[in-house]
Chains A and B, each alone.
Chain A
Amino acid sequence: MKKLINSAESLVSDVLRGMAIAHPGLRVDHATRVIARAGGPVPGKVGLVSGGGSGHEPLHGGFVGRGMLDAAVPGEVFTSPTPDRILAALRSADSGSGVLQIVKNYSGDRLNFAMAAELAADEGHEVRTVVVDDDVAGADGGAGRRGTGATVFVERICGALAEEGADLAAVAEAGERVNAASRSIAIALSPCTAPAVGRPGFELGPDEIEFGVGIHGEPGLRREPLRPARELVARAMEPLLAGLPPGGGESLVMVNGLGATPLQELYVVLHETAGVLREGGLNIAHSLVGNYVTALDMAGVSITVCRADAPMLALWAAPVNTPVLRWGC
């Protein structure tokens, strides 16, 4: 294992120290590991909190700021944060207008965020939860669809709505709608290595890909031969489009690198994705291309499509100022 780290044990703390230097707009509490907006909660605004295991950077800390999250809480690598940490994030984000927590659908995240929400309610905080479950791979396993790329769409659109002064119920409802309109799929070209484990999560031959992977280095649905990007994207988009609400119109698209994918390959994938969407009658209104929801050093790509309505598109375009997404201000 080759990594630029001091130790697996100190990794999350070391990352937070670097983030604090890089982003003066963030306030990092090193004791609770909560990353919050520097100015504190905004009076009259619904607070937004998200979190989950580390190893997906820039998710979630990179999306803290005006128009997105008020606080993010990272756990150990690929391990949900504990309820006490999440509670600290909920407290820091509540200006008195309530807090929405955005949770990716994994047993660990759901259990810990549910416990934190109970603790916060005992303290008098009003907390609602949106569970993101957009990954079409492995959906019939029993635990439901995993939460992956659509988290960025939910955080952005809920964040914009909260910034406009909408109440907690309205912000939560918008999150549910964005999630329902979004689906994702991912392909790995190489596995990733979690620092505490020290070896890759699976092994792939030189001409093999893993189809339908998650973002934690676990194996995917099946192993397939490597094919030209056009064919890979066509195969990936089939279950993705089947999972979206039917019909054409406008869409938000994210072509996301899993951590070790050259940007040029992501542009190739976006072009192929646009072609498939066009055939399905969907136009790309806005796209994101880059590393947003990663799986450490995994090479590969995830594609997320949201069939967005006019209000979602307007909220997407509203001003945002975070370390990763920044426009209109």
Chain B
Amino acid sequence: MTKKTGGPLDSARTRAWLRTAALYLDRDKDRLTRLDLAIGDGDHGVNMHRGFLAVTAALDEWEQDDLTAGELLIAVGDTLVSTIGGASGPLFGSSFRAMGKTLSAPGPDDDSRRFAAALSAARASVHRLGAAEPGDKTMYDVYEGAVDAFTRVADTGGSLEAAARAAADAADAGVRATELMQARRGRASYLGLRSVGHQDPGAASLALIFHALAHALEAK
């Protein structure tokens, strides 16, 4: 596989990723609200939007502070924890913190394998905090497929861009799969069988973040 030479996930590309994610979450706020109204209380879209608005508001300041990509992602995680609220705050926040910590520590030289390790750490942090298993109808169902897909491409010498695109496609499949599941975690679990037939809103948000990564990396 030939590598595109987009370079590593540096601060500039990380900022582009976060700005794109904020745009996607803003664009799809109403769709996320509708998903959450069906099996939750309908505030997921608003909460995610509030969190990423706070992130984009702080991006310029962080740019002046000359943060590395790792430091930037840790700051993003802290901001999300203190602005989203609910379960999504700690879960999305700890995801970004785990990515940032992994990128800040010594790791593989290869850009895509290095970021694969960061994504694995994010998945592990959500697994640990949320105690969700595959099939529970949560964002973890997106993490499973997306991180595996990213890692497969990275391990076979694929570029960051190719790995991110594979992860975004797998994320979509993960969101679709949640539709048929009965929720066993989070507020939707109280609906029992009535949770079947609806996509999980947290999974849908996470898929948007993977799409934002692919889009931002592909942008010239």
**Chain A contact residues, CB within 8 Å of chain B:** 53, 75-84, 106-108, 111-112, 115, 137-138, 140-143, 146, 194, 196-197, 199, 201, 214, 216-222
A197 with B190, Cβ < 8 A, contacts A80-B87, A142-B183 known: no
A141 with B192, Cβ < 8 A, contacts A82-B81, A107-B185 known: yes
- For the complex, is B33 an interface residue (Cβ under 8 Å from A)? yes
User: Which stretch from B1-9, B10-18, B88-96, B203-211 is at the chain A interface?
Assistant: B88-96
Rounded to whole Å, the gap between the CB of B179 and the closest CB of chain A is 17
A83 with B37, Cβ < 8 A, contacts A107-B87, A137-B190, A143-B186 known: no
Q: Given A84, A115, A201, A222, which contacts B41 in the complex, CB threshold below 8 Å?
A: A201
16 extra interchain contacts, Cβ-Cβ under 8 A, other than A80-B85, A217-B41?
A79-B43, A80-B89, A81-B85, A107-B87, A107-B185, A141-B183, A141-B191, A142-B136, A142-B185, A143-B184, A194-B43, A201-B41, A217-B42, A218-B41, A219-B39, A221-B192
C-alpha gap A219/B192 in the complex (Å): 10
B40 touches A108 (CB 8 A): no
Q: Given A107, A194, A199, A220, which contacts B187 in the complex, CB threshold below 8 Å?
A: A107
Rounded to whole Å, the gap between the CB of A140 and the closest CB of chain B is 7
C-alpha gap A80/B90 in the complex (Å): 10
Query: What residues of A have a CB within 8 angstroms of the CB of B185 in the complex?
Result: 107, 142-143
Query: What residues of A have a CB within 8 angstroms of the CB of B84 in the complex?
Result: 82
Query: What residues of A have a CB within 8 angstroms of the CB of B81 in the complex?
Result: 82-84, 115
- For the complex, is B47 an interface residue (Cβ under 8 Å from A)? yes
- B83-118 Cβ-contact flags toward A at 8 Å (1 or 0): 111111111000000000000000000000000000
Query: What residues of A have a CB within 8 angstroms of the CB of B82 in the complex?
Result: 82-84
- Can you list 8 contacts pairing A with B, beta carbon distance less than 8 Å? A108-B90, A141-B184, A143-B184, A197-B37, A216-B41, A218-B188, A219-B194, A221-B194
Query: What residues of B have a CB within 8 angstroms of the CB of A137 in the complex?
Result: 190
- For the complex, is B59 an interface residue (Cβ under 8 Å from A)? no
Query: What residues of B have a CB within 8 angstroms of the CB of A143 in the complex?
Result: 184-187, 189-190
Query: What residues of B have a CB within 8 angstroms of the CB of A218 in the complex?
Result: 39-41, 187-188, 190-191
Rounded to whole Å, the gap between the CB of A278 and the closest CB of chain B is 30
Interface-centre pick from A76, A140, A141, A216 (highest chain B CB count, 10 A): A141
C-alpha gap A292/B97 in the complex (Å): 38
A199 touches B37 (CB 8 A): yes
Query: What residues of A have a CB within 8 angstroms of the CB of B46 in the complex?
Result: 196-197
Query: What residues of A have a CB within 8 angstroms of the CB of B86 in the complex?
Result: 53, 75, 79-80, 108, 112
A196 touches B87 (CB 8 A): no
Rounded to whole Å, the gap between the CB of B79 and the closest CB of chain A is 10
Q: Given B42, B85, B191, B194, which contacts A197 in the complex, CB threshold below 8 Å?
A: B42
C-alpha gap A248/B186 in the complex (Å): 34
C-alpha gap A218/B37 in the complex (Å): 7
B43 touches A138 (CB 8 A): no
C-alpha gap A115/B85 in the complex (Å): 12
- For the complex, is B129 an interface residue (Cβ under 8 Å from A)? yes
- For the complex, is B130 an interface residue (Cβ under 8 Å from A)? yes
Q: Given A76, A141, A199, which contacts B43 in the complex, CB threshold below 8 Å?
A: A76
C-alpha gap A326/B15 in the complex (Å): 54
Closest to B41 in A: A216
C-alpha gap A140/B184 in the complex (Å): 9
A78 with B41, Cβ < 8 A, contacts A140-B192, A197-B46 known: yes
Interface-centre pick from B84, B85, B192 (highest chain A CB count, 10 A): B85
C-alpha gap A146/B85 in the complex (Å): 18
Rounded to whole Å, the gap between the CB of A7 and the closest CB of chain B is 13
C-alpha gap A201/B42 in the complex (Å): 7
Query: What residues of B have a CB within 8 angstroms of the CB of A222 in the complex?
Result: 194
A77 with B43, Cβ < 8 A, contacts A199-B37, A214-B190 known: yes
